Amino acid sequence: MSKLTAQSRFDVSGKSFLITGATGTLGSEAARALSAAGANLTLAGGNAERLKELAAELPRSSVRVQRRPESAHDAAAMVAEAEDAFGRLDGVLTAAGMNKVSPIVDMPLEDFETVMDANVRGSWLTCQAVGRRLLEQGTGGSVVLVSSTRGKLGHPAGYSAYSPSKAAVDVLAKTLAAEWGPHGIRVNALAPTVFRSELTAWMYEDDEVGTATREAMLSRIPLGRLAEPEDFVGALIYLLSDASAFLTGQVLYLDGGYTAC
């Protein structure tokens, strides 16, 4: 490995990254940050209009793929688009996922399967397609899976599908880190707590429900605030860049200290 300065280790300019779930809150924030840092991006998501809007915001041109990782064909097509556009692939962020909340005794099996398909199956299929390309290239790479603090902790409000799905993502990261380590491919998971998004905006409101829920959360967060999407960016660039060249198989909790309590 060539000797790098501390600052240059974080350089992702010219690298090619695939982002699944690119139109979601974390995926969009990642796309803006990586594009501003000079990376070449392949944006994958199911909403064509939102993909177009996101691409228009970015300072660098990107490739849009209207697909979710629902099948091996979808995942392979995403990787092929990145390869065709930029000649190679250096890493991936799997930001596609979902949740359905219900007490287990009331949850339809179909809802459980939908969550597991989106969070586990989609991550696995994406990793399979990306891994094949990275192994073929033979120059290593970085895979970043999006997990959650709920992969480590239970939840009393109907998370019997979501929490197990994120625990599976954590172990997938560890398993692939062990499998691909000899090839220089690093695999880690980012695990945020609640962050501001369309789904959680109500928790940031100053009405009775939002305030009560927020205060209950804040009582467990040593840093004393809920997360913003931009809190995700620094850790992501660290994991995708050479700054984390000796880090693999880890779950990095972006939670303000929530899991420390």
User: Out of 162, 238, 253, 258, which one is annotated catalytic?
Assistant: 162
Q: What is the mean pLDDT of residues 201-205?
A: 78
Is residue 91 in some structural domain?
A: yes
Is residue 261 in some structural domain?
A: no
Q: How far is Cα 27 from Cα 51, in angstroms, rounded to an integer?
A: 11
Count of domains observed in the chain: 2
Q: How far is Cα 59 from Cα 76, in angstroms, rounded to an integer?
A: 27
Whether 204 is a known active-site residue: answer no
pTM of the full structure: 0.94
DSSP H helices, 100-245, are 109-116, 122-137, 162-180, 208-218, 233-240
Domain span holding position 59 = 8-192+228-253
Is residue 1 in some structural domain?
A: no
138 plus 220 within the same structural domain: no
Q: What is the mean pLDDT of residues 77-87?
A: 97
Q: What is the mean pLDDT of residues 217-238?
A: 93
Which tens digits make up the pLDDT trace of 9-48?
999 999 999 999 999 999 999 999 999 999 999 999 999 9
181 plus 146 within the same structural domain: yes
Which tens digits make up the pLDDT trace of 163-190?
999 999 999 999 999 999 999 999 999 9
Q: What is the mean pLDDT of residues 138-155?
A: 95
99 plus 217 within the same structural domain: no
